[in-house]
């Protein structure tokens, strides 16, 4: 089989490419360019805008060195427009609504497992591969499921919750059964100098580290407003724009000097985009962050939809322990009833459903039901 692996210039995809080659596949690397800082007006908050070489080109050169070391060809593809249209536009629209988006999930759905897959098939490859920590399992009927990786600290099934069974079936995951320390060990053994000690990429998918508040100002004008102590109704400060704050946030609010409120005594529990008000409360009102159910939209469910409520584990955030819930469909949407209240579940977040190790899919949280409100 001819396999095109997404070669990012990082250690995970490099070792994944080596493992595929070792297993006898005909392997080539595919480097994706998905962000153009200059064309996309990415100036404010960009720490690398003045560098002689942009980070993506550094990653590309690292990928070239890996491909040369492994003796595989390297193809390059450009999905800057597709990324803007399908991932970044969604990202901005959610922030404008005061919600909490996760662009990595839609980067996988529309770029890595759609545009890149089409590029691979059009280029004569049989399938793609990725350096994700996730496990594909084909059942006796040939249906492809996605399971959590063996390395639970690095498991990335959460970010793959919007891809379809057909997309899962089209991809190999060589890192399914090994952990990150083993990946580093193999990279050192192979002397992959360009990536073996390279830090994992962080920040927005394919964009990287940014001063987030400044970065958003490139696309959404800052709109300062009042910070209101919800329980008393008093205005106790000014915010820079409600989209810059997350539920549960207690640092960087700029209200530590309020009388009888030491630093960290306040946290964000609600945002009103229409009125441009940020609502906070003191730690004694922590229950304001708790919800007991939520409605999930844009649902991607793998396998047959249940006709009656089923018990599932749910992640509302990456690396969060599974929260036990009862799941039931309401038309095309899913209602999740938590078996115990959960803190800081926010509209716009991704909820991912699991049956033990097996991922059943996920969707975008549309609304939540608070345990207590003012």
User: Distance between CA atoms of 304 and 343, rounded to whole angstroms?
Assistant: 30
Under a CB-based contact definition with an 8 Å cutoff, are residues 156 and 149 in contact? yes
Q: Measured in whole angstroms, how far is the alpha carbon of residue 68 from the centre of its chain?
A: 30
Q: Are strands 290-301 and 358-370 parallel, antiparallel or unpaired?
A: antiparallel
* pLDDT tens, position by position, 300-353: 999 999 999 999 999 999 999 999 999 999 999 999 999 999 999 999 999 999
Helix count (H) and strand count (E) of the chain? Answer: 9, 17
Residue 213 banded pLDDT, cuts 50, 70, 90 = confident
Q: Tokens in use for 108?
A: 């996988």
At 212 the three-state DSSP class reads helix
Contact 336, 293 (CB under 8 A): yes
Known catalytic residue: 107?
Answer: yes
Q: What is the pLDDT of residues 34-55, one digit of tens each?
A: 999 989 999 999 988 888 788 8
Read off the pLDDT of residues 108-152 as tens digits, 9 standing for 90 and up: 999 999 999 999 999 999 999 999 999 999 999 999 999 999 999
The yes-or-no verdict on residue 209 having pLDDT over 90 is no
Closest CA to 159 of 230, 105, 100: 105
Average pLDDT over all residues of the chain: 94
Residue bearing the bigger pLDDT, 37 or 157: 157
Residue 127 among the catalytic residues? no
Q: How many percent of the chain have pLDDT more than 90?
A: 85
Residue 254: which pLDDT band, with cuts at 50, 70 and 90? confident
Q: What percent of the chain has pLDDT over 70?
A: 98
Residue among 54, 107, 294, 325 flagged as catalytic:
107
Give the C-alpha distances (Å, rounded to integers) separating 303 from 139, 295, 324, 368: 12, 20, 20, 26
- Are the beta carbons of 220 and 92 closer than 8 angstroms? yes
Q: Is 49 helix (H, G, I), strand (E, B) or coil?
A: coil
CB of 187 closer than 8 Å to CB of 178? no
Q: What is the CA radius of gyration of the chain?
A: 22
Query: Quick one: tokens of 327?
Result: 């799941």
Would you list the DSSP string of 269-337? EEEETTTTEEEEEEGGGGGGGEEEEEEEEEEEE-SSPPSS-EEEEEESSTTPPPEEEEEEEETTEEEEE
| pTM (predicted TM-score) | 0.93
Using the predicted structure, report yes or no on whether residue 82 has a pLDDT greater than 90. yes
Assigned token pair, 299: 């649902």
Residue 80 sits at φ, ψ, to 5 deg, of -60, -45
- The three-class DSSP label of residue 158 is helix
Contact between residue 241 and residue 252 where contact means Cβ atoms under 8 Å apart: no
Domains of the chain: 2-213 (3.40.50.620), 221-287 (2.30.30.280), 289-370 (2.40.30.10)
Question: Active-site residue among 54, 171, 205, 294?
Answer: 205
- Compute the distance between CA of residue 44 and CA of residue 368 in angstroms, rounded to an integer: 33
Residue 251: predicted pLDDT: 87
Question: Once rounded to an integer, what is the mean pLDDT over residues 15-29?
Answer: 98
């Amino acid at each position: 089989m001819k396999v095109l692996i997404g070669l990012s210039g990082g250690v995970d995809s490099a070792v994944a490419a080596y493992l595929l080659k070792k297993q006898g596949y005909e392997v080539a690397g595919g480097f994706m360019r998905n962000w153009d800082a200059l064309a996309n007006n990415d100036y404010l908050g960009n720490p690398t805008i003045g560098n002689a070489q942009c980070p993506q080109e550094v990653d590309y050169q690292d990928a070239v060195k890996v491909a040369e070391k492994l003796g595989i060809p390297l193809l390059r593809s450009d999905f800057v427009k597709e990324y803007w249209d399908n991932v970044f536009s969604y990202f901005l629209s959610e922030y404008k609504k005061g919600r909490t988006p996760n662009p990595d999930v839609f980067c996988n759905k529309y770029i890595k497992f759609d545009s890149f897959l089409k590029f691979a098939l059009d280029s004569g490859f049989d399938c793609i591969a990725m350096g994700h920590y996730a496990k594909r399992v084909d059942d006796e009927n040939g249906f492809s499921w996605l399971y959590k990786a063996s390395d639970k600290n690095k498991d990335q099934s959460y970010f793959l919750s919007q891809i379809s069974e057909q997309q899962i079936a089209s991809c190999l995951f060589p890192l399914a059964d090994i952990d990150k320390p083993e990946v580093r060990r193999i990279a050192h053994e192979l002397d992959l100098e360009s990536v073996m000690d390279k830090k994992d990429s962080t920040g927005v998918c394919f964009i990287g580290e940014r001063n987030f508040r400044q970065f958003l100002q490139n696309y959404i004008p800052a709109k300062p407003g009042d910070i209101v102590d919800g329980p008393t109704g008093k205005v106790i400060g000014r915010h820079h724009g409600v989209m810059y704050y997350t539920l549960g946030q207690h640092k960087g609010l700029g209200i530590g000097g309020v009388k009888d409120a030491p630093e960290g005594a306040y946290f964000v529990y609600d945002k009103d985009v229409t009125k441009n008000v940020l609502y906070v409360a003191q730690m004694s009102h922590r229950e304001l962050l708790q919800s007991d159910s939520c409605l999930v939209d844009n649902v991607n469910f793998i396998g047959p939809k249940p006709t009656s409520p089923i018990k599932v584990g749910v992640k509302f955030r990456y690396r969060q322990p599974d929260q036990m819930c009862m799941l039931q469909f309401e038309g095309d949407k899913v209602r999740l009833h938590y078996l115990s209240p959960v803190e800081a579940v926010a509209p716009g977040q991704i909820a991912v459903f699991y049956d033990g190790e097996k991922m059943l899919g996920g969707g975008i949280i549309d609304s939540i039901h608070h345990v207590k409100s003012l």
